[in-house]
Amino acid sequence: MGQSDHSTGSSGYDASVIRPQMRADDVAWRGRGFPAARLRAIKRGLTTLHVLETMAVNIYLHQITKEDSEHNRQLIAAMCNEMTHLQDFQVKLFEYGWRPSMLRWAYWIVGSAIGFLSRLMGRRAVLRAGVWVEAKAVRHYGELLQTIEWDEETRKVVEKNRSDEQAHVERWRALLGVGGG
């Protein structure tokens, strides 16, 4: 196995855990008794996060090559982590009684294009695309955490996933040799 980042950082989440354990009892009906405005905000937030994670999965999927390298190993781990985020938000949508957006296919296409084109342009382009997309994700997660009144369990998922995105930014910047957080 390759190197791992077992640091917990300021978020308190371990960035080396790419697929946290989930038990059947963790699935629960949510939002019962919430005001309509709160439900609309949560639905908008979960739908947004779900389509953006669809895009992220496809970016990494199309950046991975056949080469047996540490870079590809890290891309695979990042893709797995993004797949977990996608599942997290799909589960939350269903727990609230909603479905994913019918327009998510557009994000699948955009993610595939970003991933494929950056791969064609080489390793630095792949890393730069990763930093750019993940930094945008961190900011977007932050905005949604500040503006939406999440239920406690969903908030924890959003916070953990934001922490993972920040770890991706830091990892890709380190591989680029670029400082800053």
Nearest CA to 145 out of 160, 129, 128 is that of: 160
For residue 89, pLDDT over 70 is answered with yes
pLDDT value for 11: 62
- Asked if residue 6 is part of any domain, the answer here is no
Domain membership of residue 115 (yes or no) is yes
| Within a domain: 20 | no
Spatial distance between the Cα atoms of 63 and 42, rounded to a whole number of angstroms: 32
Decide if 22 is inside a domain: no
Which pLDDT value is given to residue 5?
45
Note whether 101 and 39 are within 8 A (CB).
no
| Residue 7 counted as domain residue | no
Res 57: pLDDT: 97
Residue 6 pLDDT exceeds 60? no
> 135 lies in which domain range?
34-176
> Is the predicted pLDDT of residue 176 greater than 70, yes or no?
yes
164 pLDDT higher than 60? yes
Task: Say what the pTM is.
Answer: 0.88
CATH number at residue 104: 1.20.1260.10
Mean pLDDT of 143-156: 97
For residue range 33-54, what is the model confidence (pLDDT) as tens digits?
999 999 999 999 999 999 999 9
Is 42:148 a contact under the CB 8 Å cutoff? yes
Residue 181's pLDDT is 42
- Cβ-based neighbours of 164, under 8 Å, separated by 6 or more: 13, 15, 18, 81, 85
Residue 43 lies in a domain: yes
pLDDT the model gives residue 76:
97
The pLDDT-based confidence of 179 (bands split at 50, 70, 90) is low
Higher pLDDT, 78 or 2: 78
| Alpha-carbon span 30 to 110, nearest angstrom | 31
Average pLDDT, whole number, for the chain?
Answer: 92
For the residues 94-116, what does the mean pLDDT come to? 96
**Domains: count for the chain:** 1
- Cα–Cα distance, 74 to 4 (Å, whole number): 10
Q: Is residue 95 part of a domain?
A: yes
